[in-house]
Structures are given as structure tokens and as C-alpha cells.
Structure 1
Amino acid sequence: MGNLFLVGKNGYGLQSNSNEGRTYSRDLKIDKDNNIILLGNTDAHERISTPGTHQTTRTSNLGNDIFLTKFNSNGNQIWGTYYGATTTNAVDDDQALGLSVDDNNNLVFAGQTSNNAQIATSNGFLPNNGGGYHSGFFTKFSPLGNQVWGSYFYRGIHSIFAKSNNIYTLGGTNTTNNFAKFYDCAAGISATSNSPVCTNSTVQLSATGGTTYNWTGPNGFTSNLQNPTIPNATAAHSGTYTCQVSGSGACDGSFTVNVVVGDILAPVPDIAILPTITGDCHTVITSFPTATDHCAGAITATTSDPLSYSLPGTYTIHWNYNDGNGNIFTQNQTVTVNPVQTPIANTAQTFCATNIPKISDLQVTGQNIKWYDAAGNILPTTTLLINGQTYHVSQTINGCESGKIAVQVTIKSTPKPTANTMQDFCVSASPTLANVTITGTSVIFYNASGNVIPTTTPLVNGQIYYATQTLNGCESEKLAISVTLSTNNVPATNQTIVFCNSTTANTMSVNLHSYESNIISNPGNYIFTYTDNAGNAITNLTNYILNTGTTVIIVKVATIDGCFTTVRLTLTLNPKPFIELPEKIDFCQGKTITLDAGQGFTSYLWSTGATTRAITVSSPGTYSVTVKNIFGCENTRTIQVTYSVLATIVAVNINSNTATVILSETGNYEYSLDNFTWQDSNIFTHLSTGEYTVYVRTKSGCIIGQKKFSIFNIQNAVTPNGDGNNDTWKIAGLENYPGTEIYVYDRKGFVILKEIITNKPFVWDGKYHQQPLATGNYWYTIKVSDGRTYSGWLLVKNRD
């Protein structure tokens, strides 16, 4: 049915493609025979009605019509019919709302409609709606899908219930709801039949109620019997039969029944849902399902689908039940052909090239194994495997071949071990295979016959031995090694090496191992033992101290199997020339300076191109000289020559009897107090009081300048009496410090004298404003302009 889905108590379902129309179920009831009755609306034109029912076709494409249908408990439709008419308005002209089943399995349903045709019958309560819009209606149908009667009723009926020949309705008018009860005359007075009946069967007509009956029907049929029959009925007897019933009172009237003669029902399958057939590649369908037809009886299904299956998969057989009368029912059955399980194998398998692997070497678990190449060709088990190739394998069980699984093949080629193919050994060491020098993993030795021999096997002179290595479980091909045995096979030689010292020291550290490659080739194959000329063992081989001159070292060179020889290693260390030039030197601008590399060398080469021992330069710069001694050893010395930095004398700081000369620049300077005796230090100590002049020059003799300074002698008594002896207070040298301040105070702190030194010597006559001071002690403060401060007392004596 169009877009309708139905589920019953046994779990069946019905659903149709929406392309067939839209169908809505409004109500559902179960009758006394467990049939399912559906009521609803639809705009579908197919899969709704069945022949022999009230209305088998839909009259228009406009709006929705009502449908009524019956299904058996297996979900198969028994019959179906349309109800109502379609107006010119594309609206829902007829709407089904309520459904009920009476005591005799008759069906009553109700709703609302805008139609004035194909709704009510002449024997209904209200045969017409006066052209009204949205009238209510209710109607009764027989168990076979034919209308018994129909009636309009006001605005609409939403619910309906049938019981004991009474019908109850509930609906609404324009303003209020209504509830009504009707008596069903057709329940007590009715005309029925056993339709549909098969051809050549007997049609049984039946009437109830009343006392007098008058039947009329197709093919000129008439009868006054209550329950007349028509034996051997044919299609000509199909149609509507009318029975005029009288003698019942208010329910007298004409009652009709529709009779169908012929097979109109499709066969019903004996098994509602066919079981799934499961098998292997030999699955053959030999059992056909059956159905029971109303007229034809037992029917065996037919199909155009295959009935034998060999490939795994899921298939559907479409079984058709044809009763020969135009009624066909189709039923589907699923066939599942199970695949054979694939064999079990590692999908990546590795082999050794030396084993020459074949298909038969591939590891797989299964029955009746078959191997294929990528193109699907079957491969014999003698096929040689190819590195990187993918092979495919299947198994066959009970004649059914499985799917294939892929196996990736890797063939590993292990390289031969590495070794000198000709090796010599000392016969006295009794060498075995274990003494053969070879590089490899899990090395195995073989003799010429191909037999494995242990590493304890004694070596035989002139014999050839064979060796393999094994990597990742794969053994390589054999490597041939020829062996000879010698009485003395250590080809070491005496060596004399002469070289220059790397420094100007008298010793040099050397690594004795560095000379082993001079003594013998491939020194890593030998053992070296060192002793001095006196036979003492030398242990500090990597830091051996050589003195200048010749040193003889005895070297024993031995093989690991005990063969050895003794050689002399003579090392002569020659001195490196020592150049007595400073790294830096300066000279006075406008003068020259001589650079002397020293004597005793066989050659000189200055950066100026000169080849003399000394050169004289007048310009600052970087100069270098390379010299060579009688041993051919060279040395190079670089000297930085600059102009002397001429500083200025900033100050002479006096601290007690020590004078420190302060310059404006640092450098190499000399200092003197008499311009004759010079010293490197700028500090003069233990100086007596008095006046001094300090002289400063560079090391190269450039005079910077000179400066006077004083160590003061401050007397503490003065007698200004005019006797010419100690008449004034003098401090020699203060004139060298202009700006020096002198203060004299009496005992009350009164300033007697304040004087600032210029360039004249300091002299005070002991007077205050030209008047002699009273004899007594006075105090003084002298603030020297270089920062020194002196304080003390002064006795002024003006009387005897």
C-alpha cells in the first residue's frame, strides 16, 4: 500500500513505495477472526482496492479518498476498497476518523465529507446532505468489503461504536458536540451471500428479518425464498442481488448484496516467511514452497531465478504462486552461499638465497592447497621463488575453493665474511682455525670436502679452508682462505728518524706508537714491546720524553701467535732555535731602533726581506724573522714595534717622606731626581725635607719632562726681635704650590694671618697689622694645593 507501514502481533510488516501515492492510516481494529482492519485516507491509484469490493477505482487525482482494507494475521491483504468521491476542489474531500467492528464482523466507520455523492444510501438515516459542506457521515460494510448502508449526519463524526445492533456516534455541530444512538436495521434485516465463490460452485443467498422476501438479480434471477441458491454458478451470475424484505416493521426495505463468481483471491503461502537456505558451492534448490488457493487448492511455486549456486554470496529467489485464474502472489526466499575459509599463512615469509627456495617451501596450513601468481595462473610446487614477489594461495574443501590470501616473499642474500684470502702464521705457535683473522657473524669453517670443522682444528701449511657467515638465519656462500706456516714471518725493519723539537725546550714528548707504521706494515696486527738501550721497559709510550740528541729504543714486534723480531728505533731530536727578541718594543718618534735576532744561526730572513742578523727600522709595525740553525731547524719570532707613548707629569703626590710621580699615560718609563741615576719605579722613598725636581723619560731615552716638588720643613718657633736670627717664619718650597692657603690663629680662634701662595716664597714677620704679637703659642693650618694639609703650633716670642 502507498507509503503505509503495518506491524501486526506476529511481527509482519507492509510497506509500499511512496511513488505509488501517500497513504495515512486513521484507525485500526481486529475482528473476531483475528483479521486486521485498516481505515484511512489515500491519494494512491494502485495497491489499495481488490476486485469484488464496494469501489475498486479512484475517480480522480484531486484530494484524498477514504480506503478500507482487511489483512489476515500473516500480513496478506484479503480485500480493499475505496470509499467516497472526488470533487473539483483539490482538497481532502472525504476524511475517515473512526472505525468499529460489530458482533457479526461487519465494519462501521465514520468521518466527515464535502461530497453529496457515493457516501449515503437510500436506506440510510439521512440519504443526502442538501449540498452541504463538511457534513458528517457514518456507514456500514459487510465482512467482504461491500457497503450495506450509508448516512450523512450533521457537521462531523469523530468516534463510532457498534454493539448489539446499535450504533453510537460522537461528533460536533457548528456550536456544540453531539452524541447519538442509532438502531441498525441491516443487523436484524439483511441480505448476504457466500460470495466470492468459485466457478461451478453454489451461490448461497441469505436474508434475515421480516416475513416476506422477493429476490431479483443478474441473468434474470428471481426468487421468493428467504435463502435461495444458485448451483453451478458461472461468471454470468456475478453482480448485485436485491432482496425486498417486508413484515419487519420500521426496517422494511430493499437490501442488496454483491456476488462475485470466480477466483478473485490470490493464493496464500503455506509458510508466511520462508526460511533462509544456507549452503556451500554445491547448493542446489530441490524443495519448492507451496501455497493454498481459494479455488485452485494446493499450488507449487515457480521461479525464473537460478536454482543452483557455486559462488559465495547472498541471493534472492522470487517464488510465484499462480492459481491459473489471473491471481498471482510473489514470495521471496534468501539463499546464502557461505565462502570456504581461506588457508592460514604468514603474509610475509623470508627465505635464504643459498637454500634455492621453491613454492613447496612456503609455509601454509590448509587442505588441497593451490598457489597462483599475480595473473591468476596456477604455479607448480617446483616453481622457484623470486625476491619481492607476491604469491596467492587458496584451499579447497569438499570441492569448494576458498578465496586467496597474498604472501609476500623476501629472499635474503648474505654476503661472504671478509678476510685476507692468504694468511701466514708462525709454525711455532701451533695455530688453529681460531687464529685465522676473519670478520663475520656466526662464522663456520669447512674443509675441502664441505664438512664443518671446529675452530680447534690445527692449521696445515698450504691448506685451503672455507668460511661462511650467517645473518638473520641465512648462511652465506663460502670464502676460501689459503694458509701458510712460516718460521719467522714478522717483516719489521730498523728505523732512524731525525726531527726538530717543536719548542725551544731541551725535551719533547712523543708517542712511540706513531712510529710503528714505519717499522712494519699493518701494525694493528702485531704486539709491540719497548725497552731503552739499557734493557729497561718503557711504559709511558704515548708520552715518552726525548732529550735533545739521539736516543736508541729497542722494539720487539710480535704476532699474536708468538712469532717476533727485534729492531732498533733511533730517534734524533734537534733543538729549535731560540730568538732573543721581545714581543713588543717602542722607540721615540723621529728616531730609529735596531732589531737584533741574535748570533749563532746559519740563516736569517726578516719580513722586510733582509737576511742579516739585525735590521734598523724607523717606522712602527709588526716585524718577523725566521732563523735556521746548523741542524736545519727553523724558528720564527714576531715583534710589535710602536712609537713610545709620551705621557705628561700630572702630579707628585707626597705622603710623609715618600713621593709618587703620577703620569697621564701608562707605559715603559724611567724616573730620576738628578737626571743621572734612573729607576723603573715611579715612587721615591725616605726623602729628606727640601725641594726636589723629578725627571721622567721613556726606556728608549725620550725625555717626557720634569716637575718640582717639596718635602716641607715647618719650624715651630719664631723670634721677631730684629737680631737677625730667626726673625721670620719661612716654609721653603711652598712657592711650588700656587693656591696653597696658610692660616694662623690665636688661642681664641681669631685669625691672625691668612695668606694664599702665589709664585713667591712664603715669609711672615710674626706681626699682625704691622704690630708685634704678644709672646705666646699660636696655631696654624696649611692647605697645600696638591691636597696635603698640615696643622700645628707656632711659638712667637717677642721678649727675652
Structure 2
Amino acid sequence: MKIGVLIIGIFFMGNYALFGQITVDDSGYTVEQLVRDVLINSNCAATSSYSSFTGTEQNVNGIGYFNANATDFPYKEGIILSTGRARDAQGPNTGINDSGTESWPGDQDLITVTNTGNLFNATYIQFDFVPLTNSINFNFLFASEEYQENYQCTYSDVFAFILTDSQGVSTNLAIVPGTEEPVRATTIRPGIQGQCDARNIDFFGKLNGANDPISFYGQTESLKAESLVTPGESYTIKLVISDNQDSQVDSAVFLEAGSFSLGYDLGEDRTVANGNPACIGENIPLDATVEGVQDYRWYKDGSEVAQWAGNPQVTLTENGQYRVDLIFSASCISDGGLTVEFIVPPKINGNPVDITACDLDGDGSETFDFSTNGTRMMGTQDSAVYGVTYFASEVDAQNFTNPIENPENYEVQGTETIYARLSSGQSCSEIVPFQLKVQGLDFESSLKASYILCFDGEGEKLEPLPVLDTGLSLSKYMFTWYTETISEENRITDATGPSFTASALGTYHVLLQNLEFGCEFSIATEVLPSQQPEVFEVDFVSDLFSDSNTVEIKAQGESTYLFAVDDSDFGTSNRFEDLSAGEHVAYVTDSENCSVLSEDFLVVDFPRFFTPNGDGNNDIWQIVGFPEIEKAEIAIFDQYGTLLYQFNNGSGWDGTANDHRMPASDYWFRIAYVKDNVQKEFKSHFSLKR
């Protein structure tokens, strides 16, 4: 429910007369006078059967005569029909017009013709007329308080100009130009951010303020209602407006005085803009014959054509703006106009070519882009005047109906004939056919979806460069290679073979032309990077002298890496366990095996026995990987805890103490060392064998 609030401040009351506003007279005219003397003001139509309805039972008159009173309102004078009190339309816009009531009903004819229910506060005038000529039109403007706040998003106060012929067929003439929608606040509106979008904004006039000549919050531009009619036939027209959904806040329609014109329709303008110009050498016959006309006067570009005077029929052969006056009497003159442009007939520059597409998947269907045929046909002709349109049948091409909307992406099964029409819209034309053919092709290529370009750790390319190989034969195909997209600027110069060696990353396309059938298609691949790691190191996970010597190989970089130790196979795991004491080699490569990096490392451990017998084998007991130990100090004891020997280098123990050979037995050792800045100690034993 809307809440209408009328606020008229002392300032505005005191200055009301300072601003220009329209004046409204809601009692000085009968309906017949409003129709005959204000709206039509012509003797070219016999009017009768005047009737009206408004809120008189509620003491509200929504019908009146208005005068612009020298303001900037679009119409100098005319008729106002309102869903409230007509005289409330007088400006300026300082409050809210809200004079309707719930007991004031809507209108059934308006409900039917606009398909809008729940109507209140209907106002209409209605009359019959018999036109002497074949067209009518008049100017109108819609204004409404529904343009305030967010009402325009919901409340469709609506009106219609219902024209009913002698057969009882009714048509609404009050529609949004170019549509079939009734004019109302919800179909022509500026919109409210976050609540409803603007609609048909080109036809919205403005929002009004305290200096404007009418008191409604918003108004449309001046619009035109028009229709063809049959001379001499009786018609009824009903001009009706009503509130929608509730009786609150008013709307109105303003009808321009004297704009109800009974003119003569010579047909649609024949112009390039309308898509129907005439062609040089073509004759355009015009027939303005109407019963009862006493004289015909023809004009070209504002000047009377004397040799056509009195003739109802003429023939046009030149550019110009033409008008005819149909003189029924001194007080009844109807007119009609027509603009004609004559253009040079189009000429086909080059015939379109047949196009064959290769069917690689065997489904019998392919998508074609045949728009380039239009370029061939056009040549240097002005694209602002001429164009090429495509049709699936010759009849459609001749009649300019059912054009193909997507010549750049048109699906064909088998073979299809396309008819290309070169013309300026519906004007004279040249029509020529061409064929689209789907050709089955047994095709197999060895081109992979992607290739790898290898880089070292500094970003330099590594040999060998990837070879993009289609595996196809020069005897069967022509090859053109492109980077990124298939376009002339991206064509790779001199790359016309079945393979191409890529030295840069990116997408590559090869356009293939089958030499047997002439069909073209493309296949693509991508060259991706793979780079050596920027960081490569071996970390010991296990402590020294553990039962399971474990390391992790760390590689950091932009690629995916594989790892190996010694002669093991490369794998995705970088963890290696149960390594023997001594020297090892860690390896890392990228997933594409671009290159292999290696690093030596030592596993620290101690021998479980030694044999100091002077044969040169295993004569010294020493820590394996001693150089890897930080601040190592080693002491050797017998089984009774007697210190036999100490060393802090890699020289080891030869099995003697105080120049005496020690007997075969188990001996103990203790090693003190530092790891990760922490002092540590390890004790164990080994055997001396002789």
C-alpha cells in the first residue's frame, strides 16, 4: 500500500504565482466540444456518439481542457484525462496528487485490451468517427505520481486508446514505440538503483520539480498514436486511463489539441535507414485515390509539382521528400508524406566460393564460417548502403525473409546450398548460390596435446627444442603454422611443413588444407615450460648411527620433479631409507626428463667389526663419513671400561694400545659431537677379529 502525503510549504504557497504552470478548466467544455473543437479541430471526420466516465459520483472530475499558459510544456493546449481531479495537474510540482477513492471503479475494456487487472479510478471519453482518408494519428504524453520513490517498479497505472472497427475488432494505439506493450509507469521509467532497471528510457521525459508547469512527479516524452483506417468506415475510439492495484496517487494522459489528424498514408519511407531504398531505374507508383476528393496537390522537397496537380496517381523516379494534399473542401484538407532515396543497383564484385569442411569425427555434421563470401561479393561498395544477407532457400532470398542469423557459425549436415543476396535491405538485389559440403575424412595425426620446452635454473633454454610433428604428408596436405590464434599477423613465416621446431612457449595452430578435397581445418598444441630446480639439497632425516639411515631430497622450482639415489629408478617420492654407510649420489629431474642434476652425499656410520691383520683390507676401524660430523671426539674402551685410544680426526684405530696388539674381542666406543648446535653423545661397540 502506498501512502500519499501532500506537503505544501509556506514558502511555496507564498511564491506559487512566480513560476509558470498550466491551467486546467474542468467545467467549461462538454465532451463533444473537447473532441470536436479541441482534439480534432477539423471537418475531415464526421464525429458522433460522445460519451464519458470519471469520478463524478465521488465528486471528482478527471476530464478537462488544459492550456500551457506560455510555459515550456510540450503542448500549447489540449485534453487531460486523470485518475484524480483534473485541475490538480496545474503546476508547480509541490506535493502529491491523490484524489481517487476505492469506490471509483476501473474499466473492463481497459482490462481486456491491456491484460491488466485490479484497476481503480477509470476516466474516459469515447466517440464515433468516420474518416475520409486512410490513417489517423494524434500526440499524447503520460504523466504520473508513480514515478516517485520505487512505485514505478510495481504500480502499473495504465491507459489505452482503444480503436474499434465496424467488425468489433479492437486495437490499443497507446503502445511503447517499437513494441506491443501499453504505455505506463512500469514500461517507460528511469529505474531505481537496486530495485528495478530503467525501461525504454529514450521515451522517458523527465522528473518534475517545484519550477515545472505540471504537478505530476514524472512524465514521458511526447508520443504518437497512429493507425491505418478504411475511408468511409465507422469507428469507435475510447481514450481511457486507470489506477492499478490501488486508488492512491494519480496519473494522467495529456492529448495535444488539433493533433487528431486524419491524413493519408502513402506507405513506408523508402530509405537506406529503413532498409528499403529504391534503385535507380525503378519506378515508385503512388496512388492517393480517395472518394470525395476535389483536388490533389503534390509537393517535392517543399515545392509544388505543377504537372501533377489534380492527379491522384503519380510515379516517383528521383530522391526527395514527397507530400500530397487531399482537398475535400476549403475546410477539410488531409495530407500524407513519403521520403524516397534512389541508389545505384548493387553489383557482385566476385562470386562466392563453395566451401568444403572436413568431417574428422565422422558424425556428418560440421560448422561453417562463410561470412568471407560476403566480402568477396561486396568489393569496394559502401557497406553503409549495401550488405550481403544469406538465406537457406532461393524463395527466402527473393522475398528477403528468414535470413541466416549466424553465418560465422552455421551447422550443416551433408551438403547445403546457401543463397547470398547483395542488396540494400529489401531493395533491388543480386542473388547467387554457393554450396557448403561436409566431406568425410580419415584423419590421424601424431601431434600431441602439449610439448615441453626445457629451461635451466637460470631460465635459459635447453637443447633439444621440442619438435611439433603432425606426422602428416606433404603430398596430402598444405601446412600453415600460427602462434596463439589463426590470423595473418600471427602466421609463422616460412613454416609450411608437417612439423615445426618451437623455441617459445605458447599455443601453436597448424591450418591444414586437404589437397584431394580442398577442405580446411586446424589442430592445435601447447608448448609448456619445465625448469631445473632453483634449490637442490639432501637433508638427513634420521640421527647419526641410526638403524635406518634416511634422507630427503629437496628440490624447489616451477616444475614437477622426480627423485633417485644411486642406481634406483626415478620416482615421485623424495624420501630414501635404509641407506648404507658411505658415499651416495642423489639425483633430481623434472617430470619431462629435460635434464638430470646430481649431488654426492655421505651416510655416517661405523663398521661393526675390523680385521687388523696387515693384509690391507679392513685394517683400520674408523667412522664412515667422519668429515660430515661436527666437532667429533672418539674414545675406545675395552670391556672393562679402560680407555685404550682417542682421536678427533679420520685416522681411526689400528687395534693397538701402548704399542701392543690388542686381542680379538668386543670393544666399546663413545663419540661426542654437535648437531644442530646441540651437544650429543653416542655409545656402541664393535668387534676386533684376528
Same fold (TM over 0.5): no
Larger radius of gyration: 1
Higher relative contact order (CA 8 A, sep 6+): 2
- Give the TM-score, by structure 1 length: 0.29
- Give the TM-score, by structure 2 length: 0.33
Q: Which has the higher strand share?
A: 1
